[in-house]
Structure 1
């Protein structure tokens, strides 16, 4: 059934292009696999929430499989299923939500929204992403070609952890002039934060790539990125952040099949 739908869609495309006058047109389908490096960061969407700010990039893995449907000589559509690592890290003085056991140290209603300490933290957030990319190809010398691809994506949250390390005195202020602890406190912890985040995200992504043709396929290298358009936290008390990552991948794709489709001559279409 899927093959019939694909053939019908390709038939409508080639029939609508008047410059095609061959008796048959071919739709090429490629299957590819790729893997590489994700360099994600968390962008703050809230100017007055100290928890959201201060993130820098971390390093992790990115991997995907894709199908490429060649609808014209230079144009194709590429849906892909991608494992995407997101998140960010902090190293230094940072804000954290006041724990319940420390809240009791303050008079009722006078506990601050945040406390401050110096330690390391890393948010590791992994998604299963489904982009659908429009792809345009450029011919280069001999077996080489280049391409640009862009499109929207939706993603599903797989897991999320916040890992903290270090020990520090705790302060009321970011300048560390008002201590509230008499001795350093341990911040060694690994917390599951999946329940604090939205299960789904959506955004835009794209990349530029170079392709080298082989006998039955091609190898390629590409670089690009993705950016989520939805704030990931359910509760604004935990901050407001959007995901995003730079991505570098290498991969291989092979020609799965050619589908031959009859082209309706232009004169017959007019009659």
Structure 2
């Protein structure tokens, strides 16, 4: 039931994005470029004893901005998620770090607060699909005794559906139709990522990235110039 609701929610977000932008695609302004940043992630729902651990996110984006306030973007990212576990039982420490590496594909509907100019901040939200690449548990301490790292990819589901929301600062870059992008977002996992039927665990991730966009294709002529 939980996974069915997640799929319905994702379909709704895709439908909303398509509906909002369907009247604007004749007026196109596209940009693309690299994006790199920091993930601070942990586990939620039934997970206990986990705190945030840092990870890398890096990849590329494609963004469309209409001649009104709306836009849409899609990313293709290598994204490190997971969490750090620590608990003391009978004065003995149990701790470890869980790394989950994904190919993440977020799609965001964007609302630009300005129509033109060198500074175009925007708000965004949308669905995010994570495709599991691998998983590894490291820095394992069991009852105070260090243990070897091990791969536990088989404990996690191949796909993770989530939603993102955030804010972007969009500045003029060095050249014509080039932009600096500072992006802060929160990603909430809608699906259970584990294969353990006795608990539900999701990803919870705060991300900060820096990107650089290059205008691609012909820009539609308008008084609303970037």
Give TM-score, length-normalised by structure 2.
0.79
1:205 matched to which residue of 2? 164
Structure 2 residue 65 is the aligned partner of structure 1 residue 64: no
Structure 2 residue 209 is the aligned partner of structure 1 residue 249: yes
Are the structure 2 counterparts of residues 213 and 124 from structure 1 closer, same or farther at C-alpha, using a change threshold of 3 Å? same
2:8 matched to which residue of 1? none
- Does the CA-based 8 Å contact 1:26-1:258 persist in structure 2? no
Query: Counterparts of 1:114-263 in structure 2 under 5 Å?
Result: 117-139=92-114, 143-166=118-141, 168=143, 186-214=145-173, 215-236=176-197, 239-258=199-218
Residues of 1 paired with 2:124 and 2:61: CA distance?
13
2:40 matched to which residue of 1? 39
Residues of 1 paired with 2:91 and 2:106: CA distance?
39
Residues of 2 paired with 1:141 and 1:163: CA distance?
48
Residues of 2 paired with 1:147 and 1:220: CA distance?
10
Query: Counterparts of 1:39-118 in structure 2 under 5 Å?
Result: 39-45=40-46, 52-93=47-88, 117-118=92-93
- Does the CA-based 8 Å contact 1:83-1:126 persist in structure 2? yes
Are the structure 2 counterparts of residues 156 and 141 from structure 1 closer, same or farther at C-alpha, using a change threshold of 3 Å? closer
Consecutive aligned runs of 4 or more in structure 1 exceeding 6 Å deviation: none
The alpha carbon displacement at 1:253 in A equals 0.2
Residues of 2 paired with 1:188 and 1:168: CA distance?
10
Residues of 2 paired with 1:260 and 1:155: CA distance?
34
The alpha carbon displacement at 1:191 in A equals 1.5
- Does the CA-based 8 Å contact 2:67-2:115 persist in structure 1? no
Are the structure 2 counterparts of residues 14 and 127 from structure 1 closer, same or farther at C-alpha, using a change threshold of 3 Å? closer
Q: Structure 1: any 5+ residue segments left out of the alignment?
A: 1-8, 16-24, 46-51, 95-114, 170-185, 262-271
Are the structure 2 counterparts of residues 12 and 57 from structure 1 closer, same or farther at C-alpha, using a change threshold of 3 Å? closer
Residue deviations 1:91-113 (CA, integer Å, cap 9, x gap): 3426xxxxxxxxxxxxxxxxxxx
Are the structure 2 counterparts of residues 234 and 117 from structure 1 closer, same or farther at C-alpha, using a change threshold of 3 Å? farther
Larger radius of gyration: 1
Match of 2:23, SS state, is helix
The alpha carbon displacement at 1:117 in A equals 4.6
- Does the CA-based 8 Å contact 1:119-1:164 persist in structure 2? no
Residues of 1 paired with 2:203 and 2:134: CA distance?
14
